[in-house]
Amino acid sequence: MFFNSHTVTLWLNYKAINDAIMKKSNRLSIVLFVLYIALVVIMQRLYPPFVYVLAITMAVLFLFSLLVRRNVRFKGYFTSKFNVLTSKMRYRDKFDLPKDILMDKMSEALTDAGFQVRHVDKASGNLFATSAMSFYSWGENIYLDLTEIAGVTTVDFCSACFFGATSWGRNEQNYKRLLQKFEDSLVI
Amino acid sequence: MSIIVNLDVMMAKRKMSLNELSELVGVTIVNLSILKQSKGKAIRFSTLEAICKALDCQPGDILEYRDDE
């Protein structure tokens, strides 16, 4: 079931590639996940109680993710390509606006889109927000990194499920929703 | 951009700062900055009316059409 879900996620990833200027895939995490599944199957045959060990391990990891989810210092943990337990989508867009103005507009757009803004660092151009739990996912962490070169600001968007091998399209929806709210906010 | 917003010109004529205009019009400084740089997608009539009232001018004094060709 996990493998089929991840295949669907792969297909959704490739489907969304035309909607973004640049998008990074999770190929390495998929390879690691497949190896992980193979290891589980082999270990279960060799040592049947392994399944209980695995269930406890997953529960511990889930509780850990839940505890640190709202802490911006764990950004690397949630966005790492080696972390197969968090499904992520990355996009990159360019806007013809200065970084300081875009920071405020993105913060406004995040709030309007229903996300909760947890951390804003104007100096480094970082924004961190979280989404609420839904039927499809436990919730996502949204990370925005803004860099300005010659009046054009590049926004690196990353939406990562805090726990889940697949987001069922939620990561993609988060990106589209944020973009839509940002476009709407340009009507003054 | 075909529609140019000459807000900074009118503000200079009326000797009004962005902060003052923001308070009078009820629009945030960020949005006024976007408007001033002609980066907005659209402007509401209510906003245009408030700006014209605050700057005592006509919409044509703020908005200008420039043919890109």
Residue A111 has pLDDT above 70, yes or no: yes
Tell me what the pLDDT averaged over chain A comes to: 83
Residues of chain B with Cβ-Cβ distance to A105 below 8 Å are 30, 34
Tell me the two tokens of residue A164: 């889940």
Residues of chain A with Cβ-Cβ distance to B30 below 8 Å are 101, 104-105, 108
Reported ipTM: 0.87
The Cα diameter of chain B in Å comes to 38
Specify whether domain B3-65 bears CATH 3.30.70.260.
Answer: no
Contact across the interface for A188 and B30, Cβ inside 8 Å: no
Nearest to A167 by CA among A102, A110, A89, A99: A89
Percent of chain A with pLDDT over 70: 82
Nearest to B51 by CA among B33, B17, B26: B26
Domain of A111, in residue numbers: 2-185
Contact across the interface for B42 and A104, Cβ inside 8 Å: no
Tell me the two tokens of residue B61: 């004094």
Contact across the interface for B33 and A183, Cβ inside 8 Å: no
Name the one residue in this structure whose structure tokens are 């990891």: A61
pLDDT-derived band at A25 (thresholds 50, 70, 90) equals: very low
Burial class (CB within 10 angstroms; exposed 0-12, middle 13-18, buried 19+) of B29: middle
Percent of chain A with pLDDT over 90: 54
Nearest to A107 by CA among A89, A88, A120: A120
| Overall number of domains in chain A | 1
* DSSP characters over chain B: --EEE-HHHHHHHTT--HHHHHHHHT--HHHHHHHHTT--SB--HHHHHHHHHHHT--HHHHEEE----
* Predicted local distance difference test score (pLDDT) of residue A39: 79
The domain ranges of chain B are: 3-65
